[in-house]
Chains A and B, each alone.
Chain A
């Protein structure tokens, strides 16, 4: 060993750290007076630092320590629960590695997983809510799809008082595997969810489960959740949103991170991070070694070292165009905790946002909102201020309408066909074609008759023959061929 290497590793040797080169250093020090004296100087510095840092330690009076211990006891006495697991309401563990083998055989759908499509969830749960709100639409009835097992009716008698919660909103029956059973069964909305079971959603199902204490959580598409016992459940794959109640903290754990959030919030987990969204009030967030206060109407990403990034809607309330509030709308929409008027107002502000600097964000969020967005966009384009809306914003709105509208909104779209801007008309017509499966006939195209007239005539026939019902896929195909 030469002097350079020796000096580089000298500190580790002085610190008695586990180190392979200790013998080499000692050998070098014996033969090198310069390094030896440097080692002595460093040892002295080390001793001085030890003394300096520990100086107050020798002088902690016993009375002070007793006072500290007494205060700790007092503080612990004030805690509402005496157990060390105090305050943990529930635990969500994200363990994609562990679960992958178990879940592989259960995957029934070919949909891709990995990248989270927020809009899909939104569209899905919004549709689920509409169902729950008794807006009955025959074509939204359950389809055979990949869920081939018979429905399981879980009555209170066979679940007793140990239900985990209730399936409040679901786009279609949810797959459940009861504890100790190999078979998967499906349960319809408003059924109790038993303890110790596994829940699986496929590529077309999102659902919302509510617990008796008011806590709500939503399971994304292509997710598997294991309900262990009590309030403990584990996310095996996919994603989940959690809305804690106001009083009980929610513990959220990923592979290397555990945090506790106190206050109403939505939580989303993925490997190594937890995303939290706060609503109308700030929430306290605590990691193992850190704590943060997340302001109202904010979204933040936490990792094991604490806050990684944060976005806020802004104190002026005008930042209502980003993901944060879009998520808050989902919350309001689904939990019905806020007025529909407020929801509509926020939709309007999103539409207005198509004219501003955040047009891309607005468009993205509107697309995620699905059919409710189409309603708002149609109203916006038909409003009295439509002359003041820039052409680019109008065209963008029409694209979004085409992408988000549902069959029930066909008539609204037909009204927009006589828009003065041919691009808007064409976009809307494409939307109509998408939702109805009807294509403009060659005669209509040849005659160049107004699109609105053609569509009105078609719609009149269509609605008189099959009121409020979209054509089946076969009909679509027939229409397209025609």
Chain B
């Protein structure tokens, strides 16, 4: 790889860093519109039932501004908020508001009032009478009793000869792993503002979302209005992690704004965000690995049950996403995969950073560590014998894994962590026990091979000599805008801040097929930015050649200027000359359709100290090595890895949406839903493998999602190493650890 980049790979702060740290930035919660009213949802307090009656007089008596809307008022069209392309066939089973509530937190209606306090008070005074219905909460029971109406989707894949391979194996290691529903815990709870247009009967939505065109599509469908009546503008994002991927509030806000003719701000608090938005799908996975005594994995069988919650949403997608990752990590000749999604009367599943990867790798990586221990082999060595090599063929049809650097990550990680020394050291005894573990992981780069994956960008030179990039990107806080600035800046050798990159706005952008999800932005959208910039660069070179009458090979770009032979022309001067000649600004429009979907890899090593008296785990160190192709902004990449490790540690040790035996959510706020805290964070060492990837801008590929995957199983493996236990249920809370210490045979 050509590493002589001027801006690529540099840790340049996000363009809005100063605004953010000085508090000047306007988040959606700060936006105000004339005559704006405030809305508060009426959410189900029961788990499953029919709403018999809404008593609203007490609420209406509070203030004359109080208006109540419910399922009686909304269209009863069915939609699926997961659908981001009109062609998608996923089952549609949601309504804006419903009288048939299917989980604790389902939407019955909303209060609209002059201010948020009045709306909140009024919402408390609404009395809902229900007729309760039987509940289904246990995915395993649904499967064992074959309750077909609750089985959402099932898929089986099988390659090779499993029977033979299992017969030939020296050992078969089986584990059953449980992963919980996880809350995204973005600092900013869900909210949006819907503003009715004065000129027509359309609506504008301001929302911190991930896919403006999906919000537009879902609103149009839910309200039966034309797409062109809905304009969606992505606002500054206060954190998403997948939680704001599916439009949760936007259809309701749009309805309320159209109904009242006023701008509506619809906001959730933390409790509502935990119960009433989306969660990481809980997964129960049974896995069986057939291995020879010298560490060749002959075959593997996985049987997964996914709890998709009360609505269908991504029941299909998450099963398929896990399958892909299952086949793209190890080279195993015979492998079967079965995934079944079930509907339960629990909070709804959706995208959550990693989209199935944290679950499937919990299952594979705990099991492979156990496999190593059972055959008495170093778990690094066992993985090295079985990991996929660059460009290796896999049985699963679909895009190539590309320049897959899993083995490089593992070797480098082992060095940095000093695995050999630690693994072979004798450990102290006493109250506090030390353990070491690791985990590998893989993730994708967009939708190529599954869904249409394209974006169109327009890059123009402005009169002030800046470059203006118009595209439907969404900065979720991780630096997308500045990454695009850097990609464009490198092409023209101008400072990244001289590039202006706007974000998602359906009224301005060209169509983008899939938004900010599936780890596609840097790899797919970033490559579009690069190719759009290349196209404009050609246009400028050709035009300069004509204007200055020099051959094209005498024109180059340097330090923010166009260099024509030895003469530096500023971009603004060039703009004038170009405009005089062509009566239009220099601009390039480019549609890029992704051509591949390589895998990214990460390996995490963990050192933990377990307090065997209290069951508390101190994570002392995490080493994370990532195969990123090429970092666009090394600081952003490291930031993603730090944040991803944080999310993984919470997943492994403390985070769980707790649901009681009746289906009521118990973890209603952060005193009961335990985020991993800053002071609990370990020392983190990061290294990047940068070998470049085809079709990635400057060789870059994804990092944001895979960052949240490997730390969790690495920590669980380390805890089991410390204690000699086989804990296979996330999170490994102090209670579960103490139970395992007292009874190491059972989980």
Q: Do A and B come from one complex?
A: no
Q: Which B residues contact A (CB, under 8 angstroms)? A: none
